Amino acid sequence: MQDGVVIAKVDEFLNWGRKNSLWPMTFGLACCAIEMMATGASKYDLERFGCGAFMATPRRADLMIVAGTVTLKMAERIKVLYDQMPAPKYVISMGSCSNKGGPYWQYGYHVLKGVDEVVPVDVYVPGCPPRPEALIEGFLTLQKKIANEGLLRDKWVKNA
Amino acid sequence: MHEEWAALLSDRVPDCEAKVVFGKAGDKSIFVASPSLHRVCTLLFSHEDFDFHVLQLITGHDYLASEETKDTPAQRARIEVSYLLTSFRKNHDLILKVELPRENPTLDSVCDLWASANFQERECFDMVGVRFENHPDLRRILCPDDWEGYPLRRDYEVQKSWHGMEVEPEHKMNLPEREFEKRQKEMAAKHGV
Ligand code: SF4
């Protein structure tokens, strides 16, 4: 950058940084988590999109991938973990289970029928389990969503 | 082999009423009277002919009496608890069963003989509600501690909500399908199929 000049809106600059360094939380619930691990491993390599740094604590993460069956017992803990994450924070619901109860939607007495009952979800990734490509698509969708956000505009400009 | 075992059991534990039962499909099992369970298990564990030093699983099963078959003895309303015992040294195994009433089923714990019984009995308590006496730590193992009812009972009705979360939100489920079987039977009765 010695000789060049880069002109950008502050918001866009921030978004560019945020969307290319999404840090998910290390956290998997059931079979879908295996597929999430595969996505993070060398073959699909999430690091290409800047979201491979799985954080071991919710306080350092800004993305929660709910990968797997959300039982009622777990739903309470998910709520706590979500509250511990610093804003701005995002949630990807991965797999039929966390989307809407999955195989347990009709007779599962112990399963929450969709994680959106307890936390707001940004991107739903369908499948049982979704292939790594599907999860990557979910990430890209989320990155597009982040790119169109205007954090500073919302904060500083009235009636934005 | 089961007949000899049953004879030996009745000989050593006179009130155990051991009887061999042939399943319609599957393995033979030995039924014993529930009050004698702990003594029977002690014998199975320690007697050198049995030598069952491994308890593989304990499982509870709930049976409702049905209208058509309630007179046949096999179709009483009851809870059956099965113990799958194995001896690797003798290379044999045994399914030991006891029968309990559906109201307040109580059994003696066998945790002092086999440590693996601990979690198995907790699961049996969690799912079908059998109380195990002298269990060191009888709590629910899978469901939350304050869950109501026993999910693997045939007449189980799931609670409406738990800690403010709706268990079966109507807009997300296909509740009419639950009635499907019932309606099917009604139709069959109506049209004489
Ligand atoms: S959606 Fe399918 S693969 Fe994923 S957690 Fe549920 S059952 Fe397992």
Note the pLDDT of residue A158: 67
Whether A1 has a pLDDT exceeding 60, the answer reads no
pLDDT in tens, A58-101: 999 999 999 999 999 999 999 999 999 998 899 999 999 999 98
Note the pLDDT of residue B1: 83
Nearest residue to A61 (alpha-carbon basis) of A36, A30, A83: A83
**Residue A72 with chain B: CB contacts under 8 Å:** 144, 162-163, 165, 167
What would the mean pLDDT of A130-142 be, rounded to a whole number?
94
Residues of chain A with pLDDT > 90: what percent? 62
SS3 letters for B164-193?
CEECCCHHHCCHHHHHHHHHHHHHHHHHCC
Ligand 1 mutation target, pool A29, A36, A74, A97, most atoms within 8 A of CB: A97
Confidence of residue A139 (pLDDT cuts 50, 70, 90): very high
Ligand 1 mutation target, pool A71, A96, A100, most atoms within 8 A of CB: A96
Which parts of chain B have pLDDT scores under 50? none
Between CA A25 and CA B15 the distance in angstroms is: 59
Note the pLDDT of residue B72: 58
C-alpha angle B96-B139-B42 in degrees, rounded to nearest 5: 30
Nearest residue to B5 (alpha-carbon basis) of B16, B20, B27, B15: B20
User: How many residues would you count in chain A?
Assistant: 160
The domain of B78 spans 2-191
Give the CATH number for residue B105: 3.30.460.80
Q: How far is the CA of B118 from the centre of ligand 1 (A)?
A: 30
**Residue B143 with chain A: CB contacts under 8 Å:** 73, 110
Model-level pTM? 0.82
A7: left (phi over 0), alpha (psi -120 to 50) or beta: beta
Confidence of residue A159 (pLDDT cuts 50, 70, 90): low
Between CA A137 and CA A130 the distance in angstroms is: 10
Q: Whose CA is nearest to atom 3 of ligand 1?
A: A129
pLDDT in tens, A25-71: 988 999 999 999 999 999 999 889 888 889 999 999 999 999 999 99
Q: How far is the CA of A146 from the centre of ligand 1 (A)?
A: 27
Between CA B27 and CA B97 the distance in angstroms is: 12
Ligand 1 neighbours (beta carbon < 6 A):
A 30-32, 68-69, 95-97, 102-103, 128-129
Counted domains in chain B: 1
Note the pLDDT of residue B70: 59
Note the pLDDT of residue A153: 80
Q: Which residues is B55 bridged to in the sheet?
A: B85
Confidence of residue A2 (pLDDT cuts 50, 70, 90): low
Between CA B131 and CA B125 the distance in angstroms is: 6
Nearest residue to A28 (alpha-carbon basis) of A42, A44, A43, A39: A39
